[in-house]
Chain A
Amino acid sequence: MIRTSVRASSRVSSRLLVGKSVTVPVTQGIANLFVSGVANNKKLSSFHSGTRFYSDKPQPKLTVENYPNVKRLDSFKKLGKQDLDYFQTVLSQQEILEANENEDLAFYNEDWMRKYRGQSKLVLRPKTTEQVSKILKYCNDQNLAVVPQGGNTGLVGGSVPVFDEIVLSLTQLNKIREFDDVSGILKCDAGVILEAADMYLAERGYIFPMDLGAKGSCHVGGIVATNAGGLRLLRYGSLHGTVLGLEVVLPNGEIVNSMNALRKDNTGYDLKQLFIGSEGTIGVVTGVSILCPTRPNAFNVSFLGVESYEAVQKVFVQAKKELGEILSAFEFMDLKSQNLTKVHLADMDHPLSDDHPFYILIETSGSKKDHDDAKLEAFLENAMEEGLVLDGVVAQDETELKNLWQWREMIPESSQAGGGVYKYDVSLPLKDLYSLVDAANAKLEESGLSSIEDESKPVISAVGYGHVGDGNLHLNVAVRRYTKEVEKCLEPFVYEFVSSKNGSISAEHGLGFQKKNYIGYSKSDQEIKMIKQLKNLYDPNSILNPYKYV
C-alpha cells in the first residue's frame, strides 16, 4: 500500500504545535486526481486530528465552578438594555450575537481544550477599527468588562470570558490591507486567519514568518497579542523582531497606529512591543504590519536516533555549524514520547527499527535543492562517522517528509490518548532542558502515582519533546485520569524547578487564566510592579480581559 495520497494545503499545515490541529486539508481532490486510483490509505487515517465539534461531548464545567475562589468584580456593570441599544447604533444586526434559549454562545465561551467555560451573554463582531474604538470607549465609560478574542485557539484560557464579560471577536475584521512584494511587508487586519495570510503570501513567493498547528483557525492578531512561538522561530525569530508595526485600540477608544513603521526606526520607545504578548490586557490589536521572508522551495527532513541528551546537544551544535542558514527546525523527542506515539499511530511503522533513548528531527529549507542536499548529506555522514548519530533516515519524497513530521507532531495527541494530559511548556537553558523530565518522572514514581503497565496508577508517563533550537521543552504528563494528587505532585514542583534553573514557566503558550498565579516564578517583583503600573495607566478601570494574569 502506498503512503498517503492526500496532500494537506501546504507542507506544514498539519503540524501540531500543541493540542489539536484544526487544519482541514483543502486540496484533496486535486491530489487524488494526480495519483489515479490511490484509494484506501492506512497511513492517512492518523493524519489529521479533526475539527472541533461542540455537540459530541458534554459541556465542560463553568470556570467559576472549578475555581470558586475567583469572584466577579462588583465594579463591573451588568449588561443592560440601554447598552444593547448603544451597540446597535454602532454595529449591524449581523455583527451582534446575543445569548438566548437556543444559543449559549458556546463557541465563544469555551476554550479550545474545553477546559474553561465563561458565561458571556453578548458577542460583538465589528468589521472596522473605528467600531472597535467606539465599543471600547463605551465599555470603558460604562465599566463593562471585555474579553478580546481571535481564533480562540489558546491553551491557557486567556481568550474566553470567566464571568459575563462581553466577547469582542475580531473574526470579521479580516482583510489583507496591502502587500509590498519588494520589501515583503504584509499589512493586514487582526482577524485574518494565519493560514489565509500564508496562502496569500505563498502565491506571491513569500512565507509568513511563523507557523503553528492551529494555523487554520488562529488569527494574525491573536498570535501577536499572545506572542505565539511555533515551528519557524528557529529560522525567522520571534514576533518581537518580525512585527514592524501595529494598530491598537486602547481601552479609552484611542487608536495607536504604527502600521507604517519601517525596518529601522530608532526614535524613542518601541511601543508596539508592549502589546506583543500582552494577551489583550492593555489594548486590542486591530492591525498588524509584519516583515515576511521569501518562501523556500526546497525542503529536506531527516529523523535521527541518538544515545543521550548530551548527543542531542552535540548534534545541534554540529547542525548549526554545518547546515547554517538552511537549518529550519531542530526538534527532539525522548523514547517515551515515541512509545506513546507508536501506540497511537499503530498503523505506521516507526522510521527507525531499533529503539534509541532520544530522537531528533532536522528540517532544512532553502532556495536550491542540490545545494541543500549536498550540505545535509555531508552533515549526516560526518555525524554518523563520528558516532554522534546511531541511526537515521532521510525523507526521499514529500510523503515521507510529512510522515516523518508526524512522529513529532502527533506526540501531543498521543499523550492525551490514554485519558488526559498535563501540559507544561517551559523555556530552560539548553543544558538543563531535559533534566525537568527526569525530575518529574522521578517525583511521580516516588509518589507511587506512575506506571506504564499498572492501570490503577493515574499517571502513564511523563514525556519530553520540544524545540531544541529555541530552548523550549514541552513536558507532557500523560495520565489515565485527572486527579488532585497528580496535580499537587506536579504543581508548583514544575514551576519551582524551572525557576531554580532560571527558566520561563511559559515559553510560548502565555499565562492567561491557567498560569495567572505563577507569574512570580518567571518575573521579578520589580517587573510585575511595572506590568501593573502600565496596566493601571492604560486600562485604569481594568475592563480589558479581567481575572487573567494582570
Chain B
Amino acid sequence: MSSKLRVLVPVKRVVDHAIRPRVNKQLTNVETKNLKFSINPFDDIAVEESVKLRESHPDLVESIHAVSVGPVKAQDVLRTALAKGCDSSTLVEHESTELEPLVISKVLKKLVQEKSVNLVVLGKQAIDDDSNNTGQMLAGLLNWPQATNACKVELLDGGASVRVTKEVDGGEEIIVAKLPMIITTDLRLNTPRYATLPNLMKAKKKPLEKLKLKKDFEGISLDPQLKLLKVEEPPVKSAGIKVSSVDELVSKLKEAKLV
C-alpha cells in the first residue's frame, strides 16, 4: 500500500561545538582559521535517527541519502554520515560566502524532487548561525507537513504515516502526518553512535556525488536577503565582590538599589 521510505538527511559542517568561538578582528564573523570542524550536532542526531528507523524497520526504509552544501572539506562530514549508516551522499560544492537558509532550502527542494525522497530528517538548527529556518522553509517550498523539534519518531501504518513527539514550551506535542514529510530533530531524540573502524573503511567505498552549486543549481539566486551589520562578543560579566557580614550584604544591595 505504501511506498518505501527514501530518506534525505542534510548535514552541515560547522565549527566543532566544543570549541570556544572568537569573533574575528573585522567583526564580521567568528574566527574559523585553524579550528576543528565537525558535523552539526543536531544533524548528527538526524543521521542517527534515520539509521535507527532502518534498524527497527529494515523492510520499510529503502535508502538514506546524506547531503551537504559547503566547501570541499564538507566531504568529511559526509564521510562521517556514511560511516554512521547513510547509504550514499551528495556534496553541493560552494566555497566562499555564507548561504542563507532560503538558498539551502531551494537546493534541498531540487534534490528531494530529483531523488524522489519522501522523508527529510534534519537538525532543527545549525549551531553556527542558529537560524532554525531550513526545515520549515523546505516544508513551505514543498508544501509538505512538518514536525519540528522532534524528541520521538514512530512509523505507523507500515510506514505510510509518522507519529512525532515534539518539544514545545511547557511540555510535548504529538502530531501524526502522512508521508511525505519533514522532521527536524531536537536534543532528546537519541545519542549518536561512534563511527567504527570497519564502517569508516566501508564509508570510503560508498557513493559521494559531487555537484557545483552555481553550475548545477542555476536557477537559485545566491544573493543574501539579510545584511549582517556586526558580530560582537557578549559583554563580559564583571567580577563579584566578597562581603564579610549580612549587614554589609544588605547595605550593598541597597546601595545598588536592588532591595
**Beta-carbon contacts under 8 Å, A377-424 to B:** 377, 380-381, 384, 389, 391-400, 402, 404
For residue B44, which residues in chain A have a CB less than 8 angstroms away from its CB? Answer: 2, 397
- When C-beta atoms are compared, the residue in chain B nearest to A383 turns out to be B197
B20 touches A393 (CB 8 A): no
B119 to chain A, nearest CB (A): 22
Q: Does A31 sit at the interface, judged by CB under 8 A?
A: yes
Q: Does A457 sit at the interface, judged by CB under 8 A?
A: no
Assess A369 versus B36: contact at CB under 8 Å? Given A1-B187, A33-B234: yes
Q: Does B201 sit at the interface, judged by CB under 8 A?
A: yes
Candidates B39, B130, B189, B200; contact of A394 at CB < 8 Å: B200
**Beta-carbon contacts under 8 Å, A36-67 to B:** 36-39, 43
For residue A2, which residues in chain B have a CB less than 8 angstroms away from its CB? Answer: 41-42, 44-45, 187, 191-192
**Beta-carbon contacts under 8 Å, A301-317 to B:** 302-304
B17 touches A36 (CB 8 A): no
A396 touches B19 (CB 8 A): no
A380 touches B20 (CB 8 A): no
**Beta-carbon contacts under 8 Å, B120-145 to A:** 125, 127, 130
A398 touches B197 (CB 8 A): no
- When C-beta atoms are compared, the residue in chain B nearest to A368 turns out to be B34
The CA-CA distance from A391 to B195 in the complex, in Å, is: 11
A30 touches B198 (CB 8 A): no
B127 touches A393 (CB 8 A): no
For residue B16, which residues in chain A have a CB less than 8 angstroms away from its CB? Answer: 397-399
**Beta-carbon contacts under 8 Å, B141-200 to A:** 187-198, 200
A399 touches B197 (CB 8 A): no
A115 to chain B, nearest CB (A): 33
The CA-CA distance from A297 to B38 in the complex, in Å, is: 15
The CA-CA distance from A391 to B125 in the complex, in Å, is: 33
Candidates A33, A394, A396; contact of B38 at CB < 8 Å: A396
Assess A7 versus B39: contact at CB under 8 Å? Given A33-B234, A392-B197, A396-B195: no
Q: Does B226 sit at the interface, judged by CB under 8 A?
A: no
For residue A39, which residues in chain B have a CB less than 8 angstroms away from its CB? Answer: 187
**Beta-carbon contacts under 8 Å, B17-38 to A:** 17-21, 34, 36, 38
B42 to chain A, nearest CB (A): 8
Size class of B's contact patch?
35 or more
B195 touches A393 (CB 8 A): yes
Q: How many contacting A-B pairs (Cβ < 8 A)?
A: 102
The CA-CA distance from A43 to B190 in the complex, in Å, is: 13
For residue A395, which residues in chain B have a CB less than 8 angstroms away from its CB? Answer: 194
Candidates A1, A31, A37, A394; contact of B18 at CB < 8 Å: A31
- When C-beta atoms are compared, the residue in chain B nearest to A373 turns out to be B76
B17 touches A349 (CB 8 A): no
The CA-CA distance from A30 to B188 in the complex, in Å, is: 22
For residue A38, which residues in chain B have a CB less than 8 angstroms away from its CB? Answer: 187
A1 touches B190 (CB 8 A): yes
Q: Does B80 sit at the interface, judged by CB under 8 A?
A: yes
- When C-beta atoms are compared, the residue in chain B nearest to A377 turns out to be B200
Q: Does A27 sit at the interface, judged by CB under 8 A?
A: yes
A393 touches B17 (CB 8 A): no
A398 touches B17 (CB 8 A): yes
Q: Does A3 sit at the interface, judged by CB under 8 A?
A: yes
B18 touches A399 (CB 8 A): yes
Q: Does A256 sit at the interface, judged by CB under 8 A?
A: no
- Residues of A at the B interface (CB closer than 8 Å) are 1-5, 7, 27, 29-31, 33-39, 43, 297-298, 302-304, 349, 351-352, 369, 377, 380-381, 384, 389, 391-400, 402, 404
A-B contacts, 25 listed (Cβ < 8 Å): A2-B41, A2-B191, A2-B192, A5-B17, A29-B237, A30-B20, A31-B20, A34-B17, A36-B125, A36-B127, A303-B194, A304-B197, A351-B194, A352-B196, A380-B200, A381-B197, A391-B198, A394-B197, A396-B83, A396-B195, A398-B16, A398-B19, A399-B16, A399-B18, A404-B194
Given contacts A4-B18, A396-B39, A404-B194, 7 further A-B contacts (CB under 8 A): A303-B194, A380-B200, A391-B198, A392-B196, A393-B195, A397-B17, A399-B17
